[in-house]
Amino acid sequence: MAKEKTNKRILSRLPKFEVVDLFCGIGGLSYGMKSAGFDILAGYDLDWTCQYAYETNTGGKFFYKDVKSVKGDEIKSLYSKKKNTIRVLAGCAPCQPFSSYAHTNKNKDENKYNLLYEFGRLVKKVHPDIVTMENVPAIATFKLKSVLADFVKVLQEEGYQVNYQVVYCPDYGVPQTRKRLVLLASRLGKIELIPPTHSKDNYVTVRDTIGNLPALAAGQGCPTDPLHRCRALSPLNMQRMRATPYGGGWKNWPEELLLDCHKKEKGKSFGSVYGRMVWDEPAPTMTTLCTGIGNGRFGHPEQNRAISAREAALFQTFPTTYKFFPNEQEVSLSKASRYIGNAVPPRLGEVIAESIKKHIKNIKK
């Protein structure tokens, strides 16, 4: 009965949404939620170099801290005491332990599996109104540990209604073939993700996203946009790039340009490396190595180079106004690629926020 009264009091008028973001990185999730009108209070991450981008773009306070050492009371103190407030605890626990590579990697770090349990521990201590978690789809089919099932059980035992699904990001206007598991949980009632906003007929494409950017040669940068810079290529890799047709990859090369690994049976399965993108389709999934031609289908559709950091950021739906570095004249391509590849696409964060708002509006009816 007390819980029912509390819910009615919270929902008596249009609420304010306050967010604390665990494993926040440079703020892709937080920024997307901010774009939907949420107040970003704080983000926690173990990479201190993310502080500038997070604080500058989201307005939240960055805490350089291991989530294992974060106390529930610490997070609770960040939320305001206002009655008409929806408290959101968000996060994307590092996905490397749940990736397909981790399943075969004998040197995987078992401690990383515990991060989702730490998230659950904080949910139990903080009791936010809404919980959202984003991760790789493999977490739903992970065989070595029932990490997701345990997380869901914690939420249900704490009185949350839980919904999770694998999202194909082009369905929500993200111009890359990224798939992510999105979980929403609410103590206030049933919650689910909003319906897709796009279909195959109107997916946002490579052309839509980067078609108007200035042309670059390998190793060049744009004088008016420091992030629009791409890696230099060795003479041999330039030959390979020139031998790669539109939409093609290393399988189109002459024998003398092939790498030794491509000649082995195992290497033949990696058909997308050294590949070119296609203009009228979404880009492939951006990774932390997305500005290198040897790491996936990250070759420009026409220009003989890998995509630039700006192009990668746009595929991840970061606006051109997003600030990644204090001094943008000293852009680190490797660091920018890591920031961008690890991030939740801001557009996906916005979709999550819109889903939460719709959930609250439905309860108020």
Q: Looking at the annotation, which residues are catalytic?
A: 95
- Identify the DSSP state of 228: E
**Could you tell me where the beta strands, DSSP code E, fall in 187-239?**
221-222, 225-229
The answer to whether the beta carbons of residues 344 and 134 sit under 8 Å apart is yes
* CA atoms of 163 and 358, how far apart (whole Å): 14
Determine whether 158 is exposed, middle or buried from the number of CB atoms within 10 Å of its CB (0-12, 13-18, 19+). middle
Q: Are 274 and 293 in contact (CB under 8 A)?
A: yes
Three-state secondary structure call for residue 182: strand
Residue from 236, 237, 217 nearest 228 by CA: 217
Instruction: Tell me the CA distances in angstroms from 293 to 233, 250, 269, 310, 332, one per residue in order.
Output: 9, 11, 17, 15, 17
Backbone dihedral angles phi then psi of residue 163, each to the nearest 5 degrees:
-140, 130
- Residue 6 burial by Cβ neighbours in a 10 Å radius (0-12, 13-18, 19+): middle
Give the count of alpha carbons within 13 A of 141, CB side only: 9
CA dihedral in degrees (36, 42, 44, 49; nearest 10)?
A: 90
Q: Is 110 helix (H, G, I), strand (E, B) or coil?
A: helix
Beta-sheet pairing, 130-135 with 85-91: parallel
Beta bridge partners of 40: 19
Alpha-carbon distance of 287 to 291, in angstroms, equals 9
Rounded Cα–Cα distance for residues 280 and 211 (Å)? 10
Q: How does DSSP classify residue 135?
A: E
